Structure formats: C-alpha cells, structure tokens
Amino acid sequence: MKILRYKTLAMRVLSENEYAERARVVFTARVISEENAEFKGYRRVLVSATLNRSGVRELVSSASTVAVVVYSCALRVSEQIYSKPYTHTLELRITVTVKSSKHLLNPLQLLNLLGSALSEVTNYLEREDEARFLKISFENSMFAEDMARLVATRVVLVYSNQLDLEDTVITTMRSFETLHEYDLYVVLKTRSGELVKSSGVLWVFQ
C-alpha cells in the first residue's frame, strides 16, 4: 500500500509546527459491504503513519470485525458426558494490528483475511444459510488463545513478502460471555519472525 500521502501529510504537520518532534496521521473507517449495506456491523479499518524529523518511525495497519465463536471446552465436555454437542455460541470482537517501520498493509485486504479466518457475523435471511453458518462454526470450534494465534500466523504467512522479521503483530479479542458474569479478553503481541518459527514454516522475508 502506498504511504506517500500519509508521509506527505505528516511532513507538512512537522513543517508547520516547528516545536513538534513527531507527527502522526490517522485514517479510520467503518466498512459496509455492497451486498449487505443495511448491516450495521463492527467491520472497521485503521491506518496510521508516525514520522519524526529524521524519517518514518512507525506504520500501522489495523482491521476489526465481529465473529461467532464456539469454544472447545464446553463442547468437548458435553460430548464426553452426554455424547451430544451441547454448547453455546458467543459474540467475538477481534482486531488484528500490524506495526512496521517500512511497510503499510492494505487494511481492506487485512479485513477480508480476518473475515475468511473466522465465522464472521452477517445477516442471514434464509434458514439454510443460518444452518450452514452454525455448522461451520461448530466444526471449527477452538479456544480463544488458539484463535488469536491462528489469525496472527495467517497474517504473517499471507503478507510474508511485505513484512520484516521484527515487525509486530497484535491480535486482541473480546468474547461477550453468556454463561459467566465476565467477558473474556485475549491479547497476543509477537514478532513476525516468532510466528513463522512457531508455525514450523520456513519463509524468506523480503
């Protein structure tokens, strides 16, 4: 993704404010799909560029969405005790953020990748679509921390030619509980190189 416009804006801020040591330009937006424009979801993107007077300091790309999750713990216990998958679905708000000193990822592509990795919420009007959606969610149940690791690893592998080993990937999740009085929060912050190493995949970063 071209960063010239963000860099130019930040440089202009610095030039007009001599007392400032650094400048940050931020763009945020809520994303509405063309096929479902009435759906008021949580799909959001953010990009930002931070510069000091010696050059680029930090580039940030971020995407957020809402998904339905079925956690493995309740599902597995139910199958063991009752031989049936009694469990519940939860609403999950998830954000993935990539911080780099050289590369600015396309936030819309990042959002689409996030949606493809999860059971992203949408408005289903047909019962067959609802059933298919729930079937996929139940068949791909997992623990929250595993889901955060899956998303972060997929981002690094897909964007390996745009990331450096020291670039940071942050995955934050909030699960809105229905059986407990508290919500579940997960934060995974790691380097690109660490994720590739833990995934067991050899990759050459450019």
What tens digit of pLDDT does each residue of 139-198 get? 777 777 888 888 888 898 888 888 888 899 999 988 887 777 788 888 999 888 787 676
Domain of residue 10, residue span: 4-199
Taking residues 64-75, what's their average pLDDT? 79
Residue 110 lies in a domain: yes
Residue 205 lies in a domain: no
The strand pair at 184-191 and 22-30 is best described as unpaired
**What CATH number corresponds to the domain at position 122?**
3.10.270.10
- Cα–Cα distance, 184 to 173 (Å, whole number): 8
Q: What is the DSSP track for 48-103?
A: EEEEETTEEEEEEEEEEEEEEE--HHHHHHHHHHHSS-----EEEEEEEEEEESS-
Residue 165 lies in a domain: yes
Residue 57 lies in a domain: yes
Count of domains in the chain?
Answer: 1
Residue with tokens 């993107």: 45
- H/E stretch holding 24 reads strand 22-30
Residue 52 lies in a domain: yes
Output the pTM of the full model.
Answer: 0.80
Residue 206 lies in a domain: no
pLDDT for 61: 93
Residue 102 lies in a domain: yes
**Which one has a higher pLDDT value, 125 or 9?**
9
pLDDT for 34: 59
Residue 202 scores a pLDDT above 70:
no
Residue 178 lies in a domain: yes
- Cα–Cα distance, 35 to 16 (Å, whole number): 43
Write the pLDDT tens digit of every residue in 80-120.
888 877 777 778 888 999 999 888 899 999 988 887 777 77
